[in-house]
Structure 1
Amino acid sequence: MPSEKPTRNQRIVQYVAVGLVCAFAAAGFYDADPRPWGVAVAWTTCTALLVGPAAWLARDWLPADRYETVAYVAAGAAILLAIGWLGVALAFAPHLFPFGPGFVVGVGFGTLVVLLAERTVVPERMRSVGG
């Protein structure tokens, strides 16, 4: 089944949803006392170093019509991992729970770093290899 490009309105709804999640994470980070800057920086670095090369390798190895399917699988796996981490943190180490905002903000910033690097640093000829 061929994947259709999202319409302008669908893309706007996607951006608004992501923006609301980011705003919620920023509010949680701002309300945290003390603010988990170290956790946020560590997760930013880890996310950028893991997600960036994985995304670029996937772009090289996968045909363009498979990107959406792989994105759904990756998002589902990330959600399951987050749920598992939260369950373990609450069950065995409740003191880890306050660092949730640092985790969310770090992953968000790391993903943003990867997207910005791809748009600004990675040459166009390398971005279009898989497509």
Structure 2
Amino acid sequence: MEFPDLSPRVRRGLCLGMTSLFVVQAGLALLERGSISWGLIAAFGVVTALLVGPVAWAARDRIPRERRENLGYALAGLAVLSIPLVVGVGLVTGTVGLFYYEGLIGTWIGAVIVVLAEETVVPERLREPAR
């Protein structure tokens, strides 16, 4: 079975949509838990937007598309490999899952801010992929 060639915009939308499902689940779990740390959610959102946005825009401007894709795979692999480390440290310190929901929701909000800023504020010349 072959998959259709999707535009980068559609792929980004699908990725954000699927991540949104996890965020909805996290929000429901927070509501069930009863205590929501809005300050922590905002902090995760701001830090994500400030770190991810400029790095992504600079990489898009300076690194060719094929190389960015390979770097993306490498970074995704590192992120997946870091999950057991983070859970292990959380188990040792007794803080496993302490900020999971707040971090997930805040990071998602930060990613949405980056995408919206890119689509509305960032100049067209910075949005075009490097050649």
Q: TM-score range by the shorter chain?
A: 0.7 to 0.9
The verdict on how the C-alpha distance between 1:42 and 1:15 changes in structure 2, with shifts beyond 3 A counting, is: closer
Q: How does 1:1-131 map to 2 (within 5 A)?
A: 5-6=5-6, 11=11, 14=15, 17-94=18-95, 97-128=97-128, 130-131=130-131
The verdict on how the C-alpha distance between 1:43 and 1:124 changes in structure 2, with shifts beyond 3 A counting, is: same
What residue ranges of structure 1 are gaps of 5+ in the alignment? none
Q: How many pairs does the alignment contain?
A: 125
Q: How far apart are residue 53 of structure 1 and its match?
A: 1.0
Aligned AA (1:51): V
The verdict on how the C-alpha distance between 1:81 and 1:42 changes in structure 2, with shifts beyond 3 A counting, is: farther
Instruction: Provide the C-alpha distance between the structure 2 equivalents of 1:28 and 1:53, rounded to a whole number of angstroms.
Output: 32
1:56-95 alpha-carbon deviations (Å, 9 max, x no partner): 111012102223222222222223334322221122133x
SS class of match (2:34)? coil
Deviates more, 1:47-56 or 1:11-20: 11-20
Does the CA contact (< 8 Å) of 1:36 and 1:99 recur in 2? Answer: no
What residue ranges of structure 2 are gaps of 5+ in the alignment? none
SS class of match (1:98)? coil
Instruction: Provide the C-alpha distance between the structure 1 equivalents of 2:44 and 2:82, rounded to a whole number of angstroms.
Output: 15
For normalisation by structure 1, the TM-score amounts to 0.78
Q: How far apart are residue 13 of structure 1 and its match?
A: 6.4
Aligned AA (1:106): G
The verdict on how the C-alpha distance between 1:14 and 1:118 changes in structure 2, with shifts beyond 3 A counting, is: closer
Deviation >4 Å, runs of 4+: 10-16
